Structure 1
């Protein structure tokens, strides 16, 4: 009998506990049931691999391999100016050794203006780039003069020898002869001008067609000598036609300008071949009188310009304008 009140009390306690839980807010329940926050994981950020330092221009092969195109090579050389002007100039010389380097406008830009003014080998570097561009000296000299680069034409030096004595001249010329003048070899130079000549060239497939026609017949009649008779025969006609497509093309052809010069070398150079065009950088030494017949003993004989050759370069076949 005593067990019933105890069971009733336990039931009441259980009911009271359930009523107490019914007053818990949903937000509190959500906070209570939420899992414990985990410590944030620190993710390592992916870092780009460090770029290898640019090769030194002292190693020309490595430098040109790293910057194979002319534009990127000149740009890399220009960036070296921030650390060393000497290394930058050496890198530019390495770039200009490539026959594909035709960036004359970049070389004449403001970034290299100081180097062009003070470097003793700057004029020869310009001559090399002019040769890479095809060796159209007259057109390139106009560009050089627009940037105040002191390199001049042979025609200007001949016209005003006192003004241009000791200055650089640039010319396209062939070696006509090579002799020894004392201990120094002397070249007989024949200046060449480059001009573009147009022509028509066939392109595509050429078509040919032949046709043959025959006409035959006879003629009857009477003559006083032969009497009645008939004459017969045939005529063959052959026609041939051709059809093709052409386009206008232009070739660069060098021709003599009529000016000649004597070029002095420090020593004999077997690579200067005769009857071959070169872009030549030289220093103008003045005019020298040559032996010649004159009508008056007081008249001077013909004069020829004398040059000291500084450098020469083979021009490429295609000209860049």
Structure 2
């Protein structure tokens, strides 16, 4: 075979290889020179929440939250920064007469504060009064959450068990006397009863009907002879129609239990013959100066309480 064609074939192969390499290099350069992809735009951030007002300014704190539930929720959020400020905020919320959120106060968020705060029991007593002062029903709710506040009836039944513990009662002040410099109150426990009655509503309709007849009667009698008798008669009827609705009123009634309450100083705002929700410590039973029977070695006993706080109950009860 001649040598020239072989050289020509080798040259063609070299030329083809060089062209292919040059094509790959152009593609790589094109990819290198392309602009980088644009990163996705960041998601818009929500506007920052306004900082919670300080509970040390009670008026500003309560003005910020128009409802009792919103106020309690704001106080709960303060626990993340300061539990002391959160508890102060809850007390500010509870000072409002419209605060009746006992279930929220007894929730898990405040469980630790209710256990260790010395002013937790007075706060609960205030809320119970603002809910209407139905002490028996509220005590069942407290005991379901293991809050150590008890009834006067339980303390009287087991004085050794409940000595030194809190009791909550609804009572009236029957009398006040000074025992040295400390006043002693004669307390008469009250129970709250719901009594139903019917009251008229809307328009009352009434109809009166009057019918009258008259005439003469002629004839002869043995005694009077010929004559005529005249006269008239009237018949009156009335009917009425009205609509009524059944309503319920809370009536305070004595339970039959009484107690002596001690105050550290005279209090002119604790008036006689008015109902109060009273938080007190049970000090035990005291023998009264009553007559004894042959079967008794001493006179009747009455519970003695140290009053911690008292509150006027609202007229409407919350159940």
The TM-score by the shorter chain falls in which range?
Answer: 0.7 to 0.9
Q: 1:216 & 1:152 partners in 2: Cα distance?
A: 79
Give CA-to-partner distance per residue, 1:116-169, whole Å, 9 cap, x none.
000001011000000010000000000001111110000010111111100000
The equivalent of 1:7 in structure 2 is none
The equivalent of 1:267 in structure 2 is 265
Give CA-to-partner distance per residue, 1:86-127, whole Å, 9 cap, x none.
111110000000111100000000010000000001011000
The equivalent of 1:121 in structure 2 is 119
Superposed displacement of residue 207, structure 1: 2.0
Give CA-to-partner distance per residue, 1:60-107, whole Å, 9 cap, x none.
111101122111111111111111111111100000001111000000
The equivalent of 1:313 in structure 2 is 311
Superposed displacement of residue 232, structure 1: 1.4
Write out aligned runs for 1:108-257 (5 A): 108-257=106-255
Superposed displacement of residue 297, structure 1: 8.7
Paired residue total? 280
The equivalent of 1:81 in structure 2 is 79
Task: Return closer, same or farther for 1:197/1:70 CA change in 2, 3 Å cut-off.
Answer: same
Write out aligned runs for 1:35-74 (5 A): 50-74=48-72
Structure 1: state its 5+ residue gaps: 1-42
Q: 2:248 & 2:53 partners in 1: Cα distance?
A: 42
Q: 1:285 & 1:46 partners in 2: Cα distance?
A: 63
Q: 1:281 & 1:161 partners in 2: Cα distance?
A: 17
When the two structures are superposed, what TM-score results if normalisation uses the length of structure 1?
0.83
Q: 2:296 & 2:154 partners in 1: Cα distance?
A: 27
Write out aligned runs for 1:94-105 (5 A): 94-105=92-103
Name the stretch that deviates more: 202-211 or 56-65.
202-211
Superposed displacement of residue 298, structure 1: 5.4
SS at match of 1:240: strand
Structure 2: state its 5+ residue gaps: 1-40
Q: 1:182 & 1:104 partners in 2: Cα distance?
A: 39
The equivalent of 2:289 in structure 1 is 291
Q: 2:227 & 2:265 partners in 1: Cα distance?
A: 96
SS at match of 1:307: strand
Q: 1:190 & 1:121 partners in 2: Cα distance?
A: 25
Q: 2:241 & 2:179 partners in 1: Cα distance?
A: 60
RMSD: 1.9
SS at match of 2:178: strand
